[in-house]
C-alpha cells in the first residue's frame, strides 16, 4: 500500500517505498492506478532505502555533511529554547527601557510561546505538502529578521508583536527539522544519533541562552542579545539552504499528472486548530497573571475547547469523505500506543518545563541569587546533556523503548522530588540542586528522542513534519496546562501559609517560609506529572520493541509501526 491507502502497482514497486529502510515486496492484483501520496517527502535517504542483510545502509554523502546536516536541524531546537531562556533573564532590563509594567512583562515570553504553539500543526502540514527544505529555510530566515527587529523597536506593543512574529518562524522550522530527520535517515544508528542530537539542542539552547543573556546583561546593552540570536538564526538558515538535500522530482507515474487533492491544505482545519489553541493558551497564560476568579477566563477556555472539538469532527469528516486530505488524520489516535505516547509527552514536559521554571524561582526569587549566579547553576544541564545524547543514541538500537521511557520518567520525577522534599533551604547546591539538574537532563534526553523517534516511525513519509508538529504541540499544551495547575497550587499553599486570600498572596520573597512552602508544593505537583507519565509507560509500553533497531520490517502504509493500518481488517491485511 502507498501512504494514501491505495494499493501499490507492480510498476511502482521499484520506485515507491513506504519509508526509509522499507521496500514493497508484493503488488495488488486488483488495482492499477497511480499513487496519490504526497510528493513531499521524498528527501533522498542516507542510503538506498533498503537495509542490507549484513549491515546498515551506506551513507551516499560524506559523514561530515551528515553531521553538518544534523547540527543545522538541531539548531532549530537550540534556537527555540534559547529564544525563550535568554529573554527571561533580561526581562527586568527590557521592562525598564521600554516602560513595561512588571505585571505585563510575561507577555514578552508569552507572545513568542503563543505564536509558536498555535501554528505548529498548520506549518507542519504546509511543509509536508510544499517541501520541508523550503519551509525550514524560510522559517529560519524569518526568525532571524524578526529577532533583529526586536533590538530596534521603541515600545511595548511593537516589541510583543515582533516576538509573536518570531514565534511564527520557529513554528515553521522546528517541526520541519524533525520531519527532515525522519525522512532523510533510514532506521539505524545514523537516525538514532540524529534524533538524540536534536534532543540535545533544547538543553544546550537553555544553557547558552542563560549564559549569553547573563553576561550581556551584566556587561553590555540587552539589545545585543537579539543581535546575537539573529546572527545564529541566519547561520541556521544559510546552512539549511546549502546542506539540506532538495526533494527529488516526482516519480514517472506522477509526471504530467498534477494532483490538486494531494497539493491542498485544509485551511479550514488550520484556522480552527490555530484559533482554538490560541484561545486556550491565552486563557491559561492570563489566568496565572490576572487570577482565575476573572469570569472571562473560564469562558475563553470553554470556547477554545469547543473550537478544538469542532476541529476534530471536521478532520474526521474529511478523512471519511476522502475527497481531500485533512490537516491531521484523527484515526491515528485509535492506536492505543500512539495516543499514549502523546499523553506521555504532555505529562513529561509539564514536569520537565515546570521543574526548570520553579528551580529558577527557587534560586532567583527565594535564595535571592543574581541572574548570572542562577545561570551558573543550570550549566550542568548542558554539559550532561551532550554526554547523555550520545549515550542514548547508542541505547536506542539496543534497549527496548519501554526501559528507556521508564528511566527517563523516573529520573524526571526524582529531579522534581529533590526540590519538593523538606531539605533545609540553606543546604549546599551540590547536595540536591546539582543531582536534580543532572537527573532532569537524564530524563529529557532519554524520553524526548525515544518519543520523537517512535512518532517518526509510526507515521508515513508524507506526514513526518506533521508528526514533528504534533509532538511539539502536545508538549506546548502540557507545559501550559501543567504550569497553570502548578502555579495555582503554589499560590494556594502560599496564601494558606500567610493566612491571606489567594488574590492577596503577593510575590515570592527571599528566605520567606510561606514562599518556600509554595515552591515545594508546586514541585510535588510536577513530581505527580512525572509519576503519571511513568504509570502510562508501565501499562502501555511494556511490550514495546527497540525503537531504533535497523532491521527491515514489512512495508506498511502507516509507517514502520503501522499506526495508519489500525482500521484494516485481517482479510485486508492478508490481501495487502
The answer to whether residue 164 sits within a structural domain is yes
The answer to whether residue 21 sits within a structural domain is no
> What band does 404 get if pLDDT is binned at 50, 70 and 90?
very high
What are 346's three cell numbers? 504532555
Look at residue 52 and give its three-state secondary structure: strand
pLDDT over 60 at 576, yes or no = no
Q: What is the pLDDT of residue 551?
A: 55
Q: Which domain CATH number covers 383? A: 1.20.1250.20
Cα dihedral 170/173/176/180 (nearest 10): -140
SS3 per residue for 507-549: CCCCCCHHHHHHHHHHHHHHHHHHHHHHHHHHHHCCCCCCCCC
| 468 and 507 co-located in one domain | yes
The answer to whether residue 255 sits within a structural domain is no
In 99-234 the beta strands, taken as DSSP E runs, fall at none
pTM of the shown model = 0.78
The Cα–Cα gap between 80 and 109 comes to 12
What are 383's three cell numbers? 554539559
The Cα–Cα gap between 88 and 433 comes to 20
pLDDT over 80 at 424, yes or no = yes
Distance from the Cα of residue 253 to its chain's centroid: 36
Q: What are phi and psi of 52, to 5 degrees?
A: -75, 155
The continuous run of DSSP H or E covering 249 comes out as none
The more confident residue out of 176 and 60 is 176
Highest mean pLDDT among 87-91, 452-456, 503-507: 452-456
Host domain of residue 555: 336-566
Helix residue ranges, H only, 325-463: 336-360, 371-395, 401-420, 429-458
What are the residues whose beta carbons fall under 8 Å from the beta carbon of 262, sequence distance 6 or more? Answer: 4, 36, 37, 38, 39, 129, 325
Burial 298-311 (b: 16+ CB within 10 A, else e): eebbeebeebbeeb
| 309 and 455 co-located in one domain | no
Q: What is the mean pLDDT of residues 269-281?
A: 92
| 299 and 408 co-located in one domain | no
The more confident residue out of 560 and 454 is 454
Q: At what angle do helices 336-360 and 429-458 cross, to 10 degrees?
A: 150
Are 178 and 468 spatial neighbours (Cβ–Cβ below 8 Å)?
yes
> What band does 253 get if pLDDT is binned at 50, 70 and 90?
very low
Q: What is the pLDDT of residue 40?
A: 39
Q: What is the pLDDT of residue 47?
A: 37
pLDDT tens digits, one per residue of 6-54? 433 333 333 333 333 333 333 333 333 333 333 334 444 443 333 334 4
| 448 and 535 co-located in one domain | yes
**Environment class of 40 (CB within 10 Å of its CB; exposed 0-12, middle 13-18, buried 19+):** buried
Bridge-partner residues for 22, per DSSP? 19
The Cα–Cα gap between 354 and 443 comes to 14
Task: From 326, 354, 373, give the residue that closes a domain.
Answer: 326
**Closest to 463 (Cα-Cα) out of 67, 175, 108:** 175
Q: What is the pLDDT of residue 535?
A: 97
Q: Which residue has the cell 511513568?
A: 534
What are the residues whose beta carbons fall under 8 Å from the beta carbon of 509, sequence distance 6 or more? Answer: 365, 366, 515
> What band does 262 get if pLDDT is binned at 50, 70 and 90?
low
| 198 and 298 co-located in one domain | no
The answer to whether residue 283 sits within a structural domain is yes
Highest mean pLDDT among 14-23, 83-92, 146-155, 450-459: 146-155
Q: What are phi and psi of 211, to 5 degrees?
A: -65, -50
| 204 and 235 co-located in one domain | yes
The Cα–Cα gap between 330 and 314 comes to 10
The answer to whether residue 280 sits within a structural domain is yes
The more confident residue out of 430 and 252 is 430
The answer to whether residue 41 sits within a structural domain is no
Are 380 and 438 spatial neighbours (Cβ–Cβ below 8 Å)?
yes
| 71 and 139 co-located in one domain | yes
Q: What is the pLDDT of residue 248?
A: 58
The answer to whether residue 89 sits within a structural domain is yes
Q: What is the pLDDT of residue 6?
A: 40
The answer to whether residue 560 sits within a structural domain is yes
The more confident residue out of 49 and 235 is 235
Q: Distances from the Cα of 339 to the Cαs of 170, 188, 309, 345, in angstroms?
A: 25, 24, 17, 10
| 308 and 344 co-located in one domain | no
The Cα–Cα gap between 358 and 415 comes to 12
- Cα first-last separation, the chain: 7
| 145 and 102 co-located in one domain | yes
Sign of CA dihedral 334, 178, 108, 413: positive
Are 439 and 416 spatial neighbours (Cβ–Cβ below 8 Å)?
no
pLDDT over 80 at 517, yes or no = yes
| 216 and 352 co-located in one domain | no
Q: What is the mean pLDDT of residues 202-221?
A: 84
| 151 and 219 co-located in one domain | yes
Task: From 326, 357, 376, give the residue that closes a domain.
Answer: 326
Q: What is the pLDDT of residue 228?
A: 93
The Cα–Cα gap between 298 and 419 comes to 31
Task: From 216, 245, 274, give the residue that closes a domain.
Answer: 245
Cα dihedral 555/560/566/567 (nearest 10): -40
| 456 and 392 co-located in one domain | yes
The Cα–Cα gap between 284 and 485 comes to 9
Q: What is the pLDDT of residue 89?
A: 78
The total number of structural domains in the chain stands at: 3
Amino acid at each position: 500500500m502507498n501512504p494514501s491507502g491505495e494499493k501499490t502497482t507492480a510498476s511502482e514497486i521499484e520506485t515507491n517505498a513506504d519509508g526509509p529502510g522499507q521496500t514493497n515486496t508484493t503488488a495488488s492484483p486488483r488495482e492499477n492506478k497511480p499513487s496519490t501520496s504526497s510528493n513531499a517527502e521524498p528527501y533522498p535517504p542516507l542510503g538506498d532505502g533498503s537495509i542490507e542483510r549484513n549491515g546498515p545502509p551506506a551513507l551516499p554523502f560524506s559523514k561530515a555533511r551528515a553531521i553538518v546536516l544534523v547540527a543545522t536541524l538541531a539548531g532549530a531546537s537550540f534556537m527555540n529554547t534559547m529564544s525563550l531562556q535568554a529573554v527571561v533573564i533580561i526581562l527586568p532590563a527590557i521592562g525598564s527601557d521600554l516602560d513595561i509594567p512588571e505585571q505585563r512583562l510575561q507577555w514578552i515570553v508569552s507572545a513568542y510561546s503563543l505564536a509558536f504553539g498555535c501554528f505548529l500543526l498548520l506549518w507542519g502540514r504546509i511543509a509536508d505538502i510544499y517541501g520541508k527544505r523550503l519551509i525550514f529555510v524560510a522559517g529560519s530566515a524569518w526568525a532571524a529578521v524578526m529577532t533583529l527587529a526586536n533590538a530596534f523597536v521603541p515600545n511595548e506593543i511593537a516589541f510583543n508583536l515582533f516576538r509573536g512574529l518570531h514565534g511564527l518562524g520557529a513554528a515553521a522550522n522546528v517541526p520541519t527539522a524533525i520531519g527532515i530527520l525522519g525522512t532523510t535517515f533510514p532506521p539505524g544508528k545514523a537516525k538514532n544519533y540524529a534524533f538524540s542530537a536534536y534532543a540535545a539542542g533544547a538543553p544546550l539552547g537553555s544553557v547558552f541562552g542563560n549564559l549569553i543573556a547573563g553576561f550581556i546583561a551584566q556587561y553590555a546593552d540587552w539589545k545585543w542579545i537579539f543581535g546575537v540570536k539573529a546572527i545564529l538564526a541566519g547561520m541556521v538558515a544559510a546552512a539549511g539552504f546549502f546542506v539540506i538535500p532538495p526533494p527529488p522530482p516526482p516519480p514517472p507515474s506522477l509526471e504530467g499528472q498534477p494532483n490538486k487533492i494531494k497539493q491542498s491544505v485544509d485551511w479550514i482545519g488550520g484556522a480552527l486548530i490555530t484559533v482554538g489553541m490560541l484561545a486556550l493558551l491565552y486563557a491559561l497564560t492570563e489566568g496565572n497573571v490576572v487570577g482565575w476568579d476573572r469570569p472571562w477566563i473560564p469562558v475563553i477556555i470553554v470556547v477554545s475547547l469547543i473550537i478544538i472539538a469542532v476541529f476534530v469532527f471536521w478532520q474526521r469528516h474529511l478523512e471519511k469523505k476522502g475527497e481531500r486530505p485533512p490537516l491531521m488524520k484523527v484515526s491515528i489516535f485509535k492506536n492505543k500506543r500512539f495516543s499514549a505516547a502523546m499523553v506521555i509527552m504532555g505529562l513529561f514536559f509539564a514536569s520537565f518545563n515546570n521543574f526548570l521554571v520553579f528551580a529558577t524561582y527557587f534560586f532567583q526569587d527565594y535564595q535571592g541569587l543574581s541572574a548570572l549566579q542562577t545561570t551558573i547553576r543550570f550549566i550542568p544541564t548542558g554539559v550532561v546533556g551532550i554526554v547523555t545524547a550520545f549515550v542514548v543514541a547508542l541505547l536506542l538500537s539496543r534497549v527496548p523503548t519501554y526501559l528507556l521511557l521508564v528511566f527517563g520518567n523516573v529520573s524526571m520525577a526524582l529531579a522534581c522530588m529533590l526540590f519538593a522534599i523538606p531539605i533545609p533551604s540553606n543546604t549546599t547546591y551540590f547536595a540536591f540542586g546539582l543531582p536534580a539538574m543532572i537527573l532532569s537532563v537524564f530524563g529529557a534526553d532519554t524520553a524526548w528522542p525515544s518519543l520523537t523517534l517512535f512518532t517518526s516511525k509510526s507515521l508515513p513519509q508524507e506526514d513526518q513534519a506533521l508528526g514533528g508538529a504534533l509532538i511539539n504541540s502536545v508538549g506546548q499544551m502540557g507545559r501550559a496546562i501543567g504550569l497553570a495547575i502548578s502555579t495555582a497550587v503554589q499560590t494556594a499553599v502560599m496564601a494558606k501559609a500567610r493566612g491571606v486570600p489567594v488574590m492577596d498572596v503577593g510575590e515570592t520573597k527571599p528566605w520567606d517560609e510561606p514562599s518556600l512552602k509554595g515552591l515545594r508544593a508546586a514541585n510535588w505537583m510536577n513530581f505527580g506529572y512525572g509519576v503519571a507519565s511513568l504509570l502510562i509507560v508501565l501499562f502501555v509500553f511494556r511490550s514495546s520493541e527497540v525503537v531504533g533497531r535497523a532491521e527491515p520490517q514489512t512495508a506498511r502504509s502507516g509507517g514502520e509501526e503501522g499506526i495508519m493500518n489500525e482500521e484494516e481488517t485481517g482479510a485486508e491485511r492478508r490481501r495487502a
